[in-house]
Amino acid sequence: MTTLRAGEMHRFEVAGARFAYLVPSAAVFALDETACAVLDALDGKSLTHEQLRNELGVRFEVDSVDETLRELVRVHALGRSESESKPQKALPVRPFPLQTLVLNVTNQCNLSCGYCYEYGEDRIPGAATEGPRFMSEATARAAVDFMLKESGESRVAHLTFFGGETLLNLPVLKAAIAYARTRAAELGKEVDFSMTTNATLLRSDVIQYLADNDVGVTISIDGPKDVQDGFRVFKGGAGSYDVVLPKIKELLARHKRHLIGARVTLTAASLDVTRIFRHLTEEIGFASVGFAPATTAAKRDYAIEGPGYDRMLAQFGALAREFLEYTLDGREHGFSNVKDTLEEIHKGMSKPYPCGAGLGLLGVSTDGDVALCHRFAGSNAHKLGSVTNGIDRDAQARFLEESHIAEKTDCSRCWARPVCAGGCYHEAWTRYGDARRPNLHYCEWIRGWIHTCLEIYGELAMRRPEFLQRLDERVGA
Ligand code: SF4
Ligand code: SF4
């Protein structure tokens, strides 16, 4: 006789309402009393339909139990065997359209940040430090042609400029933008542009150019003066805060069409997330702030470890709840980590890969080699072709095969995998010397964070569903 068992899920409760995050389908499912009773009855065991009816029939109408069972089976909250919920190894259909190309227009930088993954002790051999210091205009044009070709049928492609310090090669950035506009128009496509900078070289004319050309800007900045000057220093050791502050304020005042975002690197020495957030939003004026822990080997003294992750999680949780209060009031809140995770949850997709690297996103080194993403640009071990010769399909297929979630044993048993999928390849390379390994050092933190975001998602679903409908537009964009 067929028995039923609970599928793989993570249950959570918000203000008395109960939900299940269904792992194989990545769906958030509201549970009524009967559904909770069914799942409780199946906790750790298998029962037949008849046994469930008998057990629950004393508390609920039999018709209601039957209907609940049908519904739970329909959404795969109940299954017939354990293997139904294991990730299946379905590789993406190729060729997969390229959505974002990141050009490392230079591997040089005028700052010497203590935690830098490009130049610090954790750099990838060969990446950044070898090859030409600046990308040539010819390579940038070839990269644009490569991007437009590999974007396939997509009407819009995204071109992002990165470094080193991106603005050290402003002439090539400008030339690439002009060329991309012309070529895209000829092909009936559009390109949108963005860049990351440390803000030290944002002169008035540069700001005007970025505003006139609708280039989205992300500023790498760590917070108030004492925090920024702790790691983000010039080569002689002087802090950069006083240099960048007036430039950022001018950028924020004059570049209005794009949301200018701040991107903060957290270290064991600077984990005061709330203070940093307040400074960047209320005192400087950023509308959006995102945080990421420094990518580093565990042995560095600035590496965030166990208690540091707990502290970070507590502060992220407090800011996320503030985000919720703002959203319920119909006000904007700039904590981008929570928005990004809510968007991931809302997509309802169990990801086979943590990010688009090597698939819809590629990085280009100064000499035109194509790599998994900008952080691997220039690394021979992570090369996936070149802008002139195209994507090395064998190398790409090998990587996608080996880094699939189904190959990550610990992840294939983890409820957080639809969003995490093993985490950043570059973080894994830095920690374990292998981009294909899951980032098991931060599982507790990542599960805690996704749990927090699920609670917020559940509360928004109940109290402000129109916010989630707006996410539909962003996800579908
Ligand atoms: S890295 Fe950890 S948290 Fe992420 S999916 Fe794998 S086991 Fe889960
Ligand atoms: S591998 Fe890491 S750094 Fe590269 S795109 Fe993915 S998440 Fe970002």
118 has a pLDDT exceeding 90: no
Ligand 1 centroid to Cα of residue 186, in Å, is 44
Nearest ligand 1 atom to alpha carbon 417: 5
122 confidence band (pLDDT: 50, 70, 90): low
DSSP-based three-state secondary structure for 446: helix
Q: How far apart are the C-alpha atoms of 477 and 222, rounded to whole Å?
A: 30
DSSP 8-state assignment for residue 111: B
Query: Is pLDDT above 90 for 84?
Result: no
Q: What pTM was computed for the model?
A: 0.93
Q: Which residues line ligand 1 (CB under 6 A)?
A: 408, 410-411, 414, 416-417, 420-423, 438-440, 443, 446-447
Q: How confident is the model at residue 27 (pLDDT cuts 50, 70, 90)?
A: very high
Q: Judge whether residue 129 has pLDDT over 90.
A: no
Query: Is 371 a pocket residue for ligand 2 (Cβ < 6 Å)?
Result: no
- Closest ligand 2 atom to the C-alpha of 425? 1
- Does residue 373's CB lie within 6 angstroms of at least one atom of ligand 2? yes
Distance from Cα 219 to the centre of ligand 1, integer Å:
29
Q: Is the pLDDT of residue 86 over 70?
A: no
Across 276-336, the runs of DSSP E, i.e. the strands, are: 288-293
Distance in angstroms (rounded) separating the CA atoms of residues 438 and 411: 7
Question: What pLDDT, in 10s, does the model give residues 289-343?
Answer: 999 999 887 778 888 988 899 999 999 999 999 999 999 999 999 999 999 999 9
- Higher model confidence: residue 70 or residue 301? 70
For a ligand 1 pocket test, name from 350, 414, 424, 453 the mutation site with the most ligand atoms within 8 angstroms of its C-beta: 414
Q: Which ligand is nearest to the CA of 429?
A: 2
Q: Which of 86-90, 295-299, 372-376 holds the top average pLDDT? A: 372-376
How much of the chain, in percent, has pLDDT values that exceed 90? 83
263 Cβ below 6 A of ligand 2: no
Instruction: Report the alpha-carbon distance of residue 202 to residue 97 in Å, rounded.
Output: 33
Q: How far is CA 161 from the centre of its chain?
A: 18
Nearest to 75 by CA among 20, 33, 10: 20
Q: Which ligand is nearest to the CA of 350?
A: 1
- The number of the ligand 2 atom at minimal distance from the alpha carbon of 435 is 1
Q: If you measure from the C-alpha of residue 179 to the centroid of ligand 2, how many angstroms do you get, rounded to a whole number?
A: 27
Q: Tell me the pLDDT tens digit for each residue of 203-261.
A: 999 999 999 999 999 999 999 999 999 999 999 999 999 999 999 999 999 999 888 99
Q: How many of the other CB atoms lie within 10 Å of CB of 461?
A: 17
